[in-house]
Structure 1
Amino acid sequence: MSTALLNETLGSLATRIPGATRILREQRLDFCCGGAQSLQQACEQRGIDATLVAEQLLHLQQQPGANSNWELTPTPQLIEHILERYHARHREQLPELIRLANRVEHVHTRNPDCPHGLAALLDEIYGELEHHMCKEERILFPMFNQGVAASVLVGGPIAVMRHEHDQHGEALEQLAELTHDIQPPPGACNTWRALYRGLREFRDDLIQHIHLENTVLFVRS
């Protein structure tokens, strides 16, 4: 029953039910850094009908193939997926987004909807994220691949990574504020629209990336 999902954490729902992240993201429920909250608690904080969200999730859960999840993937393969799907992808995304943002800010500087400061924010995000990913690649991931349990790392490297994940989440909030939740204004040019499409993709990828590490990798025994 959908009511059984109300006490489950957002992180668990996002990990266990394929497609759940889309629904949670549409409702602006933070399954990433706020993944320890129950669905009921998170919905109450946002003034959302938790039962309706649970019914949507139950419908997804009942779809064919809904039993597959990353919790069953061996750690080396999970890390390889994170490196290829997210680390490499962020390094492709951000330089181009910075270029597009600079272009939009230059051409449309007199437009009241112009996202002034966006390029600088993206450049800061890129620098922080690159530093973060390098620490994972050089320190944390090799330790996982050597068989070190998360319980041994939780007070050190994992605590640092979680804190930085929270900072990445705060940066995404700044991004949303600067861009009207990444919605281009009426009449926006193709470059502006391409920039915002890329920003939405980057945001979704980063949220999934953080969720996968916080909720799956960082809790492995």
Structure 2
Amino acid sequence: MTQQLNDFSVTRKWPAQHPERIQLYSLPTPNGVKVSIALEEMQLPYEAHLVSFETNDQLSTEFVGTFPNNKIPAIIDPNGPGAQPLALFESGAILVYLAEKTGSPLLPADPAARYETLQWLMFQMGGVGPMFGQVGFFHKFAGKAFEDKRPRDRYVNESRRLLGVLETRLTGRQWVMGDAFTIADIAIWPWVRNMVVETGYNASELLGWHEFPQLQRVLQAFEARPSVQKGLKVPPRG
């Protein structure tokens, strides 16, 4: 049965003004901006829809009916495999899909480099994201009021270890994979950035950010990319 874009429940709450474009449902969080940055890097036409956590948009029946994990970012590609619409959640899966769809060098064609890139993508998804997020909870959000600092310190120590892994990896390299900017960088650097900027978790002192000169260098290069500067603001917050 042929499916149309309007068949997806999410479009009832966020109608497409440009149904021929990739539909992005997101918020400018460390996870959300991965996909907007990738779309900008690949110069793919897209339409962004703000999913507001303040009004629990992600829990709406329209959103969950299409994306059952009720998390952002998510996309619908109206021209997916077989010229059929494809709905996807999970930022890592979306990054791989978009890179493969376009044949982008953001995911290397060489098999060894491809799997090494995917390895570092999984490093972010399985380690950096969950651990850094816990630091944010215990350092900036509700958990900061806990008198017992052992939970916070547990996640801080693991986050410092992960930063150390990256620091070693980037010694003598321009990006995670060397000279090539890849989806691994798109996944990792929004999270690193969010840990240290004042508008994010503001945890640079807690993490000993001054001890990671390679990370500082690469983060600065990441922030200088036009696609990053635009993608970090997509979708605009109201």
- The two structures have a TM-score, normalised by structure 2, of 0.33
- The two structures have a TM-score, normalised by structure 1, of 0.35
**Higher helix proportion (structure 1 or 2):** 1
